[in-house]
Amino acid sequence: MWAPIRLLAPPVSTTTTGGATAGVDGTLGVSHGAWQSGPMGRVTVRRKVTTIDLAAPSSTTRPDTLSVEEPLELRVGGVPLTVTMRTPGHDIELVHGFLLSEGLIRSADDIVLARYCEGAVVSGESGFDENTYNVIDVTLAPGVAAPAASATRSFFTNSSCGVCGKASIEQLRAKSAHEVRGDDTRFAAATVAALPDRLRAEQRSFDKTGGLHAAGLFTAEGELLVAREDVGRHNAVDKVVGWALQNGHLPGTGRVLVVSSRASFELTQKAIMAGIPCLAAVSAPSSLAVECAEDAGMTLLGFVRGTRLNVYAGSHRITPP
C-alpha cells in the first residue's frame, strides 16, 4: 500500500524516472524510479528562546527559528538497514546518495521503487493519522544483491570505530564504481575560491537558523547544478549525490563538490564513489581524507575562503592565476 497523501498533509512534489500512478485516495506510486518529496514543511520550527546579555545586563525572551532534526529509517525490501538523523526534505535523494556511497547500488536503475511507509503515522491535530515521512522502504531491481544482515556494522559512515585507515581506503577502492584518477579536468583557482560564497548564497534555511550544513555540485566553470542543506554534513552530500544520480549527472566528471564544513574521510569517499574529481571544503581536511584522496587520484582542497585555498591532494588539476 502507498502512504496516503491527505489534503491537510504538507505539500509534496514528485520527480520520477518512470511512470507515476495515482490511487483512489490521493495515493502516489512510481513503477520505476522514485518519487521525490519536497521540504515537507518541517525544515524549520519556531521556539521561544531567552537571551541573556551579561554586558547590559539584560534578559529577553523572543521566538527563534530552529533547524528540524528527525530520524529517517531506511529499509531495503522491508528490512531495516540504518537510521540517520537528518533535516526532512529531499529524502529520496538522500536515500539514493547513501546507497550509492555505501556501494550498495551503482546506478539509478538499481532501484525500482522508493516510498514512504504507510505505517509510519502519528495522530495529527486534524484528527487523521498523518504520515511522519520518517521511514522509507526501497525495492531493489532484480539481480541487485540485498545488503547483508551485518551491513550496518560495515558502513563507511559507522567505520570510525575498529577500522583502521588503511583498511578503510582499501575497502573504498574495492567498492567504487567510478574512477576519478583519469579525469583530466582543470579547475581555475580563482573560480573554485569563489564557490563557497556561491553556495552560501543558496543557504536559505541557514539564514533563518544558523544551524545547517550545505553541499553543492558545480561545474568547472562555476555553474551551480544543485545545492542542499541538512543538519548533518554527510546527509547534505548524500542529497547532492542522490540528485546527481537521479538526474543523470553521475559519474561527476568535471565537477567539484563544495561543502560548508571540514573534509572528513566520509565526505571524501562519498565524492569518490560518485566519480567527482574535486572536493573543496571551507575548513580543514583530516589526515585520512588526504590519504584517501591521494590514493584515488582526487583533488582535495581545504580552507577555501575568500582569496585563499590550500591544495592537499591532486594539485595538477588546479590552475593558479
Residues with a known catalytic role: 161
Q: Which residue has the cell 556501494?
A: 103
The verdict on whether residue 303 carries a ligand-binding annotation is yes
Q: Which of 228, 194, 192 is nearest to 213 (CA)?
A: 228
The answer to whether 266 and 281 have CB atoms below 8 angstroms apart is no
What span, in angstroms and rounded, lies between the C-alpha atoms of 134 and 83? 10
The verdict on whether residue 317 carries a ligand-binding annotation is no
**Grid coordinates standing for 113?**
521503487
What span, in angstroms and rounded, lies between the C-alpha atoms of 94 and 175? 19
Is the Cα dihedral 152, 245, 3, 30 positive or negative? negative
What span, in angstroms and rounded, lies between the C-alpha atoms of 280 and 309? 9
What span, in angstroms and rounded, lies between the C-alpha atoms of 188 and 185? 10
**Grid coordinates standing for 78?**
522491508
The verdict on whether residue 180 carries a ligand-binding annotation is no
Query: Helical H runs in the chain?
Result: 91-101, 165-175, 189-193, 195-200, 204-209, 233-246, 265-273, 287-296
For residue 307, report the phi and psi dihedrals to the nearest 5 degrees. -110, 15
The verdict on whether residue 89 carries a ligand-binding annotation is no
What span, in angstroms and rounded, lies between the C-alpha atoms of 247 and 250? 8
Q: Which residue has the cell 521556539?
A: 47
What span, in angstroms and rounded, lies between the C-alpha atoms of 92 and 90? 6
The verdict on whether residue 304 carries a ligand-binding annotation is yes
The answer to whether 225 and 248 have CB atoms below 8 angstroms apart is no
The verdict on whether residue 275 carries a ligand-binding annotation is no
Question: Residues at the annotated binding site?
Answer: 303-308
